[in-house]
Structure 1
Amino acid sequence: MTPPATVEDVAVHGLTDTIGVTIPNPLTCEDVPNRRAKAGKLNGGVAAATNSEFFKAPAPHKPLAIRLDHRMSQEAKLRKSTVLKSLAKHMATPGMISLGGGLPSSEYFPFESMDIKVPAVGKFLEEETKTTGKTMHLGKHDVKEGKSAYDLSIALNYGQASGSAQMVRWVTEHTEIVHNPPYRDWACTLSAGSTSSLEMVYRMFLEKGDFVISEEYTFATAVETSHPLGCKFVGVKMDSEGMIAEALDELLENWDVATRGARKPFLLYTVPTGQNPTGSTQGRERRQQIYKVAQKHDLILIEDEPYYFLQMQPYTGPGAEPAPLPKNHDEFLKSLVPSLLSMDVDGRVIRLDSFSKVLAPGSRCGWVVASAQVCERLQRHGEVSTQHAAGFSQVILHRLLDEEWGHGGYLDWLVNLRVQYTTRRDALMKACDDHLPKEVATWTPPAAGMFHWINLDVSKHPEFGKKSVAEIEQAVFRTSVASGVLVTPGSYFMADQENELEKVFFRATFAAAEFDTMSEAIRRFGLAIRKVFGLPQ
């Protein structure tokens, strides 16, 4: 018998020693219209029941996901489908007249239409949008009038916890284009943002007293979200590529239940690309190593990826010409570090995807990609909490991403972001090179994301050994604030806040500040470091 599929498998996949099937080529942006035409009319009415299976390519060659029943919390196991939401499946019956639901009539929605100006494909700069931008008109009854697949009468009514059929279709196609998960029963479900999804995932798998594994420095909100559940974080050592797989394996191999007072952890939270706060990015090999450790110890991986599409051009040094951009969509997608999702042959990765860093944080609309089993549990949770992502956000995003830009136009937008963030990153790197005291400050230029992690050699402080590392960190922080620059102390991001601080890091972001103010901010930060460390000004 041939081994199970892996991401390295190519055109033909063996089912037995003598039988094989041809694997279809991955979905491309150009393939989407033909697939939709073959699928027929979209059932996208008010509160239409939907799931990713309606929109994926058949994949009989792929394995099914492993079952995660043994990992689910008692709370997750108790969740049932809400009886009122279950009525939606009957609405697909032709000629059905509904007197059963509690849906208000769109006649009483005080929103007849919306006009929103957006960039034209290829002309994404703010100044270009003012002159060449396209005004999208969203009417209340566009579907009935044959003008669109989605309108305000549908979007502003109650919906399913999965999200609208229109947006589930789009994110499913996008996921297949970019990641093409190598198991069969993956699914997408919309969310009210990744923080909400994360809290749901914690509650799906954790019991009081459990530990969550993460990088030793991690997103502070991810840690804080676990605390009311009675859970803690345990950090894994990092290097310039983020979490070290060998350190993860060692932590799990040597887990002592009696000493830790908790069962061996199995839920791992990671930000693989442009990690918050360190800016580190796990390369392909590192991700493969972490996934193998996850298989060995039966871990569930939460892949939180708001910065995935903020992968930048390689840093070429101060004043150097930037590396050439990808020439087309295929080159762009191949230039991205493969996601953990794209390596996941078991269905043990729960990917949190987001529009927050690439379109607008205030949309509060993202999506989760995971096994159908996990997505179904998330939907049961959503039915009695968030209900669904906001209708305003869904209809605006659909009109922009699907009907205005299309999948190809969205990739063009992401390439544009690569240019903008590369330019910002390079400006901050130059400022650091010009103004930070290299006697004590070191850094690795980030390959992705929004953050720059600066290491200060605390052993070179004149009172090292007399003052604690935490006191030295706070001295730099207070002096920086007094100097008119705000940078974030690394201690804020420690996975285990009970550990004693041993190193001094600061996080700076290059996402929003103007270029000249970025340079001035780093100049002020450099002066603050010199003052605290007793270096010449």
Structure 2
Amino acid sequence: MAPPSAVSYDIEAVTDTEAIVLPNPLTVNGVASRRAKAGKLVAGTAAYTSSDLFKSSTAGKPKAKRWDHYFSIETKSRQPSSLKGAAKYLKTPGLISLGGGLPLAENFPIEEISVKVPTPPHFKEKEAIKTGTTLSAGKYDVSEGKSVYDLSIALNYCLGTGAAQMLRWVTEHTEIVCNPPYADWQCTLTVGSTSALDHAFRMLCERGDYILAEEYTFSSAVETGLPLGVKFIGLKMDDQGLIPEAMDALLSNWDVVARGARKPFVLYTVPSGQNPTGATQGVARRRAIYKVAQKHDVYILEDEPYYFLQMQPYTGPNAPGIPPPSSNEEFLRSLVPTFLSMDIDGRVMRLDSFSKVIAPGTRVGWITASEQIIERFVRANEVSVQNPSGISQMVLFKMLDEHWGHGGYLQWLINLRMEYTSRRDILLAACEKYLPRELVSWNPPAAGMFLWLKVDWRKHPAAKTKSILEIEEEVFLAAVEQGVLVSRGSWFTADRENFVHTELFFRATFAAASADKMSEATARFGIALRDIFGH
């Protein structure tokens, strides 16, 4: 990555984003009052649903831009599902359905499921074992008046939006955190963000297109695009991630003939705790990137699995920790505003996921975008993943909606914030203790779960005869021999064909190992480096 520099953002905006007023963050009480006014949610098997049913008033907000000019041939060809479209008639009183192939619930061999979850604010595992609450879902809880969601609904087919009960929750959560400033935004559930990215690439790109991204980016995103004939082109980074001037320069000077491809119009970015570098874009940086996107009419894919893993400021080894946010309001105010919250054009698809904040195995996430984009996305869901697992949706609904509520979920996220702050600080302390500072440097991450280690390859005894990639492999294998696995930086290059390696990086995570094992692993990596570099 290029070193940070003092820059002046003189890019002209199509519309001024500086005037956006972020909402009063805690609208949890507003959610409760809206629900009370709306009355009990009635949403049975394969019920039609939309975020429009659950949002607050959008009066005074503009509508999103149209994106027809960027839709791929594939997505333009998609038609609504004939069978799923007929589901709207299921709510007709007295209707007897012989139409859809929805099995009878009495033939589902699951009568009840129970899960034990923490009771706020007692989130620690040892506390949860003692004080946790067991939540149960029965097959006919709706008809028995016990809930608005039961197994007879969750275990059956669902529409491409996901269940209304979970869609309501993610819509409310998105409005609390982001409050998109245009009127026709919507959410839809996904089977995780990797699946959502596959849909998004197919929706917007043709074979031969390029996607913009940070020069080091999430390798699975690149590997999702490559079989589709879509390549990534990397943009220079500094300690805040993507540099907007680099994006503007590349797009302003794009040569269609020389590149053999049309000018890129999709940006894939991980703004918070970026994978692999750990960089987090500040609010000024995000606004500058958005202005460049407006200038060149770029559509932004805002992939934010680590957004809620923004940590307390790093105060150095052995320094006293900063206390946690004292309230949900303070926690929300501490978060960097999202691209979605400044998106007056409807040019952002935000990808959210429960993978990093609840559990990867749920395979449940959601996207937020304009109504036009969501409609095309749902068409793709209907003929592929259909919807997330009903059992996963049920477990999440019971915990997030019926048990924790929006306020309790924010308390859980504060708990995670402090957990990851502690884990980051443990790894950084180990790096200070065990890694040779004359060879290795790093920036303390402000979010996420990754530490990006820069190794001065020029000090290798054979630096004049060996390539960077040869030295990288030597270090990687020596570390494995010492008993520690770190990820090679070259695995994360956006441009797999043309990237010129000038620096040597390794990615370490503080998410997976215990405190003592993180320290031991760091010590082993230090031994490997000293052995190879002769220090």
TM-score normalised to structure 2 length: 0.96
Which amino acid is the alignment partner of residue 69 of structure 2? H
Aligned match of 1:54: 53
Counterpart of 1:101 in 2: which secondary structure?
coil
Distance 2:512 2:129 in 1: 20
The answer on whether the counterparts of 1:26 and 1:176 sit within 8 Å (CA) in structure 2 is: no
Equivalent positions of 1:127-276 (< 5 A) are 127-276=126-275
Deviations 1:213-271 (A, max 9, x none): 10000000000001111111100000010000001111111111111111000011000
Deviations 1:148-167 (A, max 9, x none): 11110000000000011101
Counterpart of 1:386 in 2: which secondary structure?
coil
Deviations 1:26-51 (A, max 9, x none): 66112222101111231310000000
Which amino acid is the alignment partner of residue 162 of structure 1? T
Distance 2:100 2:383 in 1: 16
Deviations 1:268-299 (A, max 9, x none): 10000000000100000000000000000000
Deviations 1:325-379 (A, max 9, x none): 2111111000001111111000000011000000010000100100011110010
Aligned match of 2:75: 76
Aligned match of 1:430: 429
Which amino acid is the alignment partner of residue 223 of structure 1? V
Superposed displacement of residue 440, structure 1: 1.2
The answer on whether the counterparts of 1:199 and 1:225 sit within 8 Å (CA) in structure 2 is: yes
Counterpart of 2:506 in 1: which secondary structure?
strand
Which amino acid is the alignment partner of residue 492 of structure 1? W
For structure 2, the residue ranges without an aligned partner over 5 or more in a row are 1-13
The answer on whether the counterparts of 1:241 and 1:281 sit within 8 Å (CA) in structure 2 is: yes
Aligned match of 1:505: 505
Distance 1:294 1:25 in 2: 27
Which amino acid is the alignment partner of residue 158 of structure 2? G
Distance 1:426 1:114 in 2: 39
Note if 1:527 corresponds to 2:527.
Answer: yes
The answer on whether the counterparts of 2:236 and 2:243 sit within 8 Å (CA) in structure 1 is: yes
Distance 2:112 2:273 in 1: 39
Which amino acid is the alignment partner of residue 356 of structure 1? S
Aligned match of 2:354: 355
Superposed displacement of residue 500, structure 1: 3.0
Equivalent positions of 1:327-406 (< 5 A) are 327-406=326-405
Distance 1:208 1:5 in 2: 34
Superposed displacement of residue 501, structure 1: 2.0
Distance 1:209 1:215 in 2: 19
* Shift in alpha-carbon separation, 1:197–1:9, aligned structure 2, 3 A: closer
Counterpart of 2:82 in 1: which secondary structure?
coil
Aligned match of 1:96: 95
Which amino acid is the alignment partner of residue 90 of structure 2? M
Deviations 1:423-470 (A, max 9, x none): 000000000000110001000000000100000111222222211111
Which amino acid is the alignment partner of residue 359 of structure 2? A
The answer on whether the counterparts of 2:25 and 2:333 sit within 8 Å (CA) in structure 1 is: no
Aligned match of 1:15: none
Aligned match of 2:120: 121
Distance 2:411 2:405 in 1: 10
How many residues align? The count is 521
Distance 2:337 2:463 in 1: 42
Note if 1:493 corresponds to 2:492.
Answer: yes
Which amino acid is the alignment partner of residue 416 of structure 2? L
Which amino acid is the alignment partner of residue 154 of structure 1? I
Counterpart of 2:47 in 1: which secondary structure?
coil
Deviations 1:299-336 (A, max 9, x none): 00000000000000000000111122211111100000
The answer on whether the counterparts of 2:193 and 2:352 sit within 8 Å (CA) in structure 1 is: yes
Distance 1:60 1:407 in 2: 24
Q: Which moved more, 1:97-106 or 1:164-173?
A: 97-106
Aligned match of 2:293: 294
Counterpart of 2:188 in 1: which secondary structure?
strand
Distance 2:416 2:515 in 1: 16
Distance 1:519 1:469 in 2: 27
Q: Which moved more, 1:35-44 or 1:130-139?
A: 35-44
Deviations 1:74-114 (A, max 9, x none): 11111110110011111222332322221000000000001
Deviations 1:4-37 (A, max 9, x none): 68463459xxxxxxxxxxxx96661122221011
Which amino acid is the alignment partner of residue 30 of structure 2? D
* Shift in alpha-carbon separation, 1:9–1:501, aligned structure 2, 3 A: closer
Superposed displacement of residue 502, structure 1: 1.6
Which amino acid is the alignment partner of residue 530 of structure 1? R
Counterpart of 1:84 in 2: which secondary structure?
helix
Distance 1:44 1:339 in 2: 31
Distance 2:412 2:345 in 1: 32
Deviations 1:184-206 (A, max 9, x none): 10000001111001000000011
The answer on whether the counterparts of 1:5 and 1:345 sit within 8 Å (CA) in structure 2 is: no
* Shift in alpha-carbon separation, 1:72–1:105, aligned structure 2, 3 A: same
Distance 1:472 1:10 in 2: 49
Q: For 2:19, which of 8, 33, 36 is the aligned residue?
A: 8
Superposed displacement of residue 472, structure 1: 0.8
The answer on whether the counterparts of 1:223 and 1:495 sit within 8 Å (CA) in structure 2 is: yes
Distance 1:295 1:94 in 2: 48
Counterpart of 1:428 in 2: which secondary structure?
helix
* Shift in alpha-carbon separation, 1:10–1:70, aligned structure 2, 3 A: same
Which amino acid is the alignment partner of residue 376 of structure 1? E
Which amino acid is the alignment partner of residue 233 of structure 1? F
Distance 2:233 2:175 in 1: 33
Distance 1:138 1:59 in 2: 35
Distance 2:532 2:485 in 1: 16
Once superposed, what is the RMSD of the aligned Cα atoms?
Answer: 1.3
Aligned match of 1:310: 309
* Shift in alpha-carbon separation, 1:256–1:5, aligned structure 2, 3 A: closer
Deviations 1:374-424 (A, max 9, x none): 110010011010011110011110010000100000000000000100000
Distance 2:451 2:464 in 1: 28
Superposed displacement of residue 55, structure 1: 0.4
The answer on whether the counterparts of 2:26 and 2:329 sit within 8 Å (CA) in structure 1 is: no
Distance 2:464 2:25 in 1: 58
The answer on whether the counterparts of 2:234 and 2:494 sit within 8 Å (CA) in structure 1 is: yes
The answer on whether the counterparts of 1:7 and 1:345 sit within 8 Å (CA) in structure 2 is: no
Aligned match of 1:18: none
Deviations 1:109-143 (A, max 9, x none): 00000111100010001111111010001111111
Which amino acid is the alignment partner of residue 42 of structure 1? L
Which amino acid is the alignment partner of residue 524 of structure 1? R
